[in-house]
Structure 1
Amino acid sequence: MEKDVHIRSAVLIVEDEPLIRMEAVDMIEEAGFRTFDVGSADSAISTMEQNEDIGILFTDIEMPGTMDGLELAAYFQKRWPKVAIIIASGAVEVKTLNLPEKVCFFPKPYPTDRITKALKSISNNRK
């Protein structure tokens, strides 16, 4: 009997706080996705350049380095337009953001069920 095997796109997690990043990795791996995790936008770009199977960017907004999560999302949309983007923040409300087009936003603490549903929906729409 053949199993229904669905290979999901890998998720690149960008979060500068190590404990929050570990929480995000656990949540996303439990949803059935492979993950890459980094602590800055610069590391995210480098990781993306080396891994063609990343299909979803999951990023925090406030990060140290050359760009924040919103700038990173805009950069990804220009350079890798097929990559889906999810932004999470505990410090910013979605109403005050100028989100790039087609970007999902979730507040922290992570609403695990809603994020898992969004990840699976994104993945299923890419079949």
Structure 2
Amino acid sequence: MKSLPDDNLHVLIVEDDAILLLSLGDCFRDEGFDVVEAGSGEQALDEIANGNRLDAVCTDIQLGGSVTGWDVADACRQRWPEIAVLYASGDIASMPRPVEDSRYFSKPYNPAELTEACRELCTV
């Protein structure tokens, strides 16, 4: 279920670059989001299993370890079919998937564009 515009939106940010993860987390918090951070795909799967409400996931596609951003998004969609998904990658070979309620961003990106896209996807 989509959140109402006046609810705090809950977003899971998955990024294996620690500095970028902290920066994105701060950016989303500054825009009024409730943020859960995961530094790996495996950690993200643990957060998803916790069952806490999530309205969106913002994930790097290529993560260290055996769990990719695609895997994280698929796990989110299994639990919350209407979750908004923001994919990001610095690898040109990582082409976006045509998935409803998702957006793809090439690195480097403007974090403000991510928060804006997230809000738009969550309140449609």
> What TM bracket, shorter-length normalisation?
0.7 to 0.9
- Aligned twin of 1:35: 35
Q: Tell me how far apart the structure 2 counterparts of residues 92 and 77 of structure 1 sit (CA, whole Å).
A: 25
Say which SS state the counterpart of residue 55 (structure 2) adopts.
strand
- Aligned twin of 2:45: 45
Deviates more, 1:97-106 or 1:12-21: 97-106
- Aligned twin of 2:97: 99
| Displacement of 1:38 | 0.8
Say which SS state the counterpart of residue 24 (structure 2) adopts.
helix
Gaps (5+ residues) in structure 1?
none
After the TM superposition, which residues 12-31 of structure 1 pair with which residues of structure 2 at under 5 Å, given as runs?
12-31=12-31
CA RMSD across the alignment: 2.0
Say which SS state the counterpart of residue 121 (structure 2) adopts.
helix
Return the letter of the residue paired with 1:101: V
Q: Tell me how far apart the structure 2 counterparts of residues 100 and 43 of structure 1 sit (CA, whole Å).
A: 25
Return the letter of the residue paired with 1:124: T
Say which SS state the counterpart of residue 105 (structure 2) adopts.
strand
Gaps (5+ residues) in structure 2?
none
| Displacement of 1:17 | 0.9
Q: Tell me how far apart the structure 2 counterparts of residues 34 and 98 of structure 1 sit (CA, whole Å).
A: 26
- Aligned twin of 1:109: 108
| Displacement of 1:55 | 1.1
- Aligned twin of 2:10: 10
Structure with larger RCO (C-alpha < 8 A, sep 6+): 2
Return the letter of the residue paired with 2:32: G
Seen in structure 2, the aligned counterparts of structure 1 residues 66 and 100 have a Cα distance that, compared at 3 Å, is: farther
Residues 36-75 of structure 1: CA distance to partner in whole angstroms, max 9, x if unpaired? 0011111111112214221101000111222211232223
| Displacement of 1:18 | 0.3
Say which SS state the counterpart of residue 59 (structure 1) adopts.
strand
| TM value normalised by structure 2 | 0.83
Say which SS state the counterpart of residue 62 (structure 1) adopts.
coil
Deviates more, 1:71-80 or 1:101-110: 71-80
| TM value normalised by structure 1 | 0.81
- Aligned twin of 2:120: 121
